[in-house]
């Protein structure tokens, strides 16, 4: 790995979904947005739900996708995500998430905050909002 890049890997329960060389990654964490550059200090944290932007060596514009919670680690010039979900814009079924959005909004409006479905709906709405943000750019 050059001093201008690092290995970036994303895993979901289905396995490895992305492996590339990146020069910069911006990601959501449980504590807010974090930027990772080559030679970043070792870091382990909780991945949040939101948009991930990264630059590859071969592209001048950022690539973007959405993650939904998990863990992340940067060590030995490798950034690794263990995410519950990763949604790549070219593979998103927009009809499906639009249909579900109304149901999640209704559940939250009428729901009990102690209901596990309520908290699931909050995470899914955040994921859908992030997907819409990526699609609109």
Same domain, residue pair 82 and 27: yes
Mean pLDDT (the chain) is: 86
Specify whether 124 is located in the same domain as 72: no
Q: Which are the contacts of 29, defined by CB distance < 8 A and separation ≥ 6?
A: 45, 46, 47, 48, 72
What number of residues does the chain have?
137
Q: Considering the entire predicted model, what is its pTM?
A: 0.79
Shared domain check, 122 and 56: no
pLDDT of residue 1: 52
Number of folded domains that form the chain:
2
As a whole number of angstroms, the distance between CA 11 and CA 110 comes to 34
CATH number at residue 76: 2.60.15.10
Give DSSP secondary structure letters for 77-126.
TEEEEEEEEEEEGGG--HHHHHHHHHHHHHHHHH--TTSHHHHHHHHHHH
Query: pLDDT tens digits for 35-68?
Result: 999 988 898 999 999 899 999 877 777 888 999 8
Q: What SS3 class is residue 135?
A: helix
pLDDT, tens only, 66-124 = 998 999 999 999 999 999 989 887 666 666 777 788 888 888 887 777 878 888 888 88
Chain centre to alpha carbon of residue 11: 11
Task: Give the range of the structural domain holding residue 97, as residue numbers without chain letter.
Answer: 93-136
Q: Are residues 72 and 127 in the same domain?
A: no
């Amino acid at each position: 790995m050059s001093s201008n890049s690092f290995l970036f890997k994303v895993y979901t329960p289905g396995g490895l979904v992305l492996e590339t060389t990146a020069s910069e990654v911006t990601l959501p964490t449980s504590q807010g947005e974090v930027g990772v550059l080559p030679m970043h200090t070792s870091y382990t944290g909780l991945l949040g739900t939101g948009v991930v932007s990264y630059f590859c060596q071969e592209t001048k514009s950022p690539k973007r996708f959405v993650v939904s919670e998990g863990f992340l680690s940067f060590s030995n010039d490798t950034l690794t995500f263990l995410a519950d979900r990763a949604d790549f814009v070219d593979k998103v079924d927009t009809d499906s998430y639009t249909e579900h959005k109304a149901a999640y909004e209704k559940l939250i409006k009428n729901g009990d905050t102690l209901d596990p479905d309520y908290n699931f709906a909050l995470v899914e709405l955040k994921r859908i909002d992030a997907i819409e943000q990526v699609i609109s750019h």
